[in-house]
């Protein structure tokens, strides 16, 4: 099983991302859960969302406290939120930033796998908006290999309709452009 914790801000699409990923995993014959953690959030406030994917039935119904992967949609949350909290020692950290993986590792005193991509820049260029949620799905797929890019096509088309192709293009660019440091 792979467990992913997403950190973002209200309105950035973290919840949409976990739902899309779960739908794609189920359509690919896997078992999945995608759920948010809501409190008194408002647009711009820090939020967390979670994804579980496995090849067998998932019986766990609790939150994810020791994720395999942490994905940060907004690098300004680093320092505001402990994004490494509970991340497994061999876990992977994926950050939407223009910084290198080495810079992020040094900043966070993190020795695991770090990956970075300018998801916001890609989203602006491909979609015309700085919303990097579907872009960062591409980064996650590259780092984890949990699903192929093709698995996301139908869920993204269903969710985004006429603007789906822009989202798919952004996702593919992040997949191709992510920098990974072990």
- Structural domain boundaries enclosing 163: 2-181
pLDDT band at 45 (very low <50, low <70, confident <90, very high): confident
Q: In the prediction, which pLDDT does 47 show?
A: 87
93-139 per-position pLDDT tens digit: 999 999 999 999 999 999 999 999 999 999 999 999 999 999 999 99
Q: Which two tokens stand for residue 85?
A: 């909290």
pLDDT at 41 > cutoff 60 = no
Q: In the prediction, which pLDDT does 26 show?
A: 97
Q: In the prediction, which pLDDT does 10 show?
A: 82
**φ, ψ dihedrals at 8, nearest 5°:** -155, -165
Q: In the prediction, which pLDDT does 53 show?
A: 98
Mean pLDDT along residues 57-82: 94
Q: In the prediction, which pLDDT does 17 show?
A: 94
Q: In the prediction, which pLDDT does 182 show?
A: 84
Mean pLDDT along residues 71-86: 94
Q: Measured between alpha carbons, how far is residue 122 from residues 1, 77, 89, 133 in Å?
A: 30, 19, 30, 11
Domain count for the chain: 1
Tell me how far apart the terminal alpha carbons of the chain are, to the nearest angstrom. 21
pLDDT band at 42 (very low <50, low <70, confident <90, very high): low
20-33 per-position pLDDT tens digit: 999 999 999 999 99
Q: In the prediction, which pLDDT does 46 show?
A: 84
pLDDT band at 39 (very low <50, low <70, confident <90, very high): low
Q: What is the CATH number of the domain that holds 8?
A: 3.40.920.10
∠ CA 49-152-123, rounded to 5°: 70
Q: In the prediction, which pLDDT does 11 show?
A: 76
Q: In the prediction, which pLDDT does 168 show?
A: 98
């Amino acid at each position: 099983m792979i467990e992913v914790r997403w950190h973002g801000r209200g309105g950035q699409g973290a919840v949409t991302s976990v739902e899309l990923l779960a739908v794609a995993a189920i359509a690919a014959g896997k078992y999945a859960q995608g759920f948010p953690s809501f409190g008194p959030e408002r647009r711009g406030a820090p939020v967390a969302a979670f994804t579980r994917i496995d090849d067998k039935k998932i019986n766990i119904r609790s939150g994810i406290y020791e994720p395999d992967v942490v994905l940060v949609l907004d690098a300004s949350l680093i320092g505001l939120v402990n994004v490494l909290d509970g991340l497994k020692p061999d876990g992977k950290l994926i950050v939407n930033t223009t910084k290198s993986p080495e810079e992020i590792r040094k900043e966070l005193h993190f020795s695991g796998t770090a990956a970075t991509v300018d998801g916001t820049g890609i989203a602006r260029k491909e979609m015309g908006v700085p919303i990097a949620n579907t872009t960062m799905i591409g980064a996650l797929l590259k780092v984890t290999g949990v699903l192929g890019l093709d698995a996301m096509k139908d869920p993204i088309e269903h969710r985004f309709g006429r603007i789906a192709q822009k989202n798919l293009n952004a996702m593919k660019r992040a997949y191709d452009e992510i920098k990974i440091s072990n």
